Amino acid sequence: MTAGLRAGTGWLPYGSVPSGRPRLFCIPNAGGAASTFAPWRGLATAGVEVCPIQLPGRAERFAEAPHERATVLVDALLAAIGHEFTGRYVLFGHSMGAALAYELARRFAVTGTPPVHLVVSGRSAPHLADVCRPLRDLPLDELIAELRTIGGTPEAILRERELMDRLQVLLRADFSVNETYRCPAGEPLDVPLTVLGGDSDPRAPVASLHAWEALTTGAFDVRVYPGGHFFLQDRPAELVRLMCRLAAG
């Protein structure tokens, strides 16, 4: 464990960091876990600590029921570790995680402890009408076919019917979190916002990435990379360096 880390909680399995150090909090996509970002911890620069967030229903929290609504999930996260979000920190979320990161930033803007930067990835702006086929209620065979199209899930897992039968509870809950979230009414964030996306992502067309601009009065940037929904898997070092620069200031 990195020097300065305190013992982890269920939500922060790699430990928490004293607020004097800049931090990058990372929230995964539907079905994803904190381990997605474990390699990022070794890629961090500028003294930034990468802090992956573990949501209920996966990995060591598998026995916990996953939430089905973003606001309820964020309520639970804030009750458990809301005190961790102080000092200089960046919020990052991919796909479902983007919706959660935005909702967290919105809450912290109200309490006066907003992130120094919000980075969202692989998701259309949450005030737009759905542009993709909902996944949460699909029959399992159709859900597996959609996951195969989206990418990011190893074929060996998709072919294991018994495993997918168990995983579908988590996947459906996570897709429900993502698909039912709507941008709440209110003022735009006064937080710098960077949006990342893949140029061939079927779940987040490039035009839908630019629509995030309506949700902030702060600096705004869109960066589009070659690739599909999981474009970030091809360039982790580049993206971590970018977010570490934002966190370090």
Catalytic residues: 95
Which tokens is 192 given?
Answer: 């710098």
Q: How far apart are CA 51 and CA 64, in angstroms?
A: 21
Q: What is the DSSP secondary-structure string of 201-230?
A: -TTS-HHHHHGGGGGBSS-EEEEEESSSTT
Report helix angle 70-81 to 161-180, nearest 10: 90
Query: Do the beta carbons of residue 54 and residue 202 sit within 8 Å?
Result: no
List the beta bridge partners of residue 94. Answer: 121
Q: What is the DSSP string of 81-95?
A: HGGG--SSEEEEEET
Task: Collect all residues with Cβ–Cβ distance below 8 Å to 187 and sequence separation of at least 6.
Answer: none
| Both structure tokens of 156 | 């060996």
Give the integer Cα–Cα distance in Å for 96 and 200.
18
What element of type H or E holds 52? strand 49-52
| Contacts (Cβ under 8 Å, ≥6 apart) of 162 | none
